[in-house]
Amino acid sequence: MNFIDELKFDEKGLIPVVTQDFENNQVLMLAYANREAVEMTVEKGTVHYFSRSRNELWHKGETSGHFQHVKEMFYDCDADALLIKVIQDGAACHTGKRSCFYRNIKGEEVL
């Protein structure tokens, strides 16, 4: 059975994806995928998401060149979240930061 058939997509057809640096385990970003995005990620070997703001398939890196090359993929105990370990070209964040989680709760930029 294909793992995609086990995944629980939400009422919008989405599943959250945590993307992690394969080399140093830094959490790079959290975004969402629909079924097509998961299929494309597996097929192409680079991470695809579903952009909720643009309402379309989003091949990460297509405009920035900052592709995410899949090394390992996991799903959680409830099958309602994905974890993808990647080799990150350039920066994961659109701000140019390596990780989107660059601010701590004091508002300090720590990365």
Give the footprint of its own copies on this chain (CB under 8 A). Answer: 1, 3, 16, 18, 20, 24-27, 29-30, 42, 72-78, 81, 83, 93-95, 97, 100-107, 110
Token reading at 106: 């004091």
- Compute CA distances 11 → 31, 32, 81, 85, whole Å: 16, 13, 14, 26
Cβ 18 to its own copies shortest distance, Å = 5
Q: Which is nearer to its own copies, 57 or 73 (CB)?
A: 73
Distance from CA of residue 36 to its chain's centroid? 14
Phi/psi for 33 (5° steps) reads -130, 145
Q: Which is nearer to its own copies, 65 or 107 (CB)?
A: 107
Q: 3-class DSSP state for residue 71?
A: strand
Cβ 57 to its own copies shortest distance, Å = 19
Cβ 87 to its own copies shortest distance, Å = 16
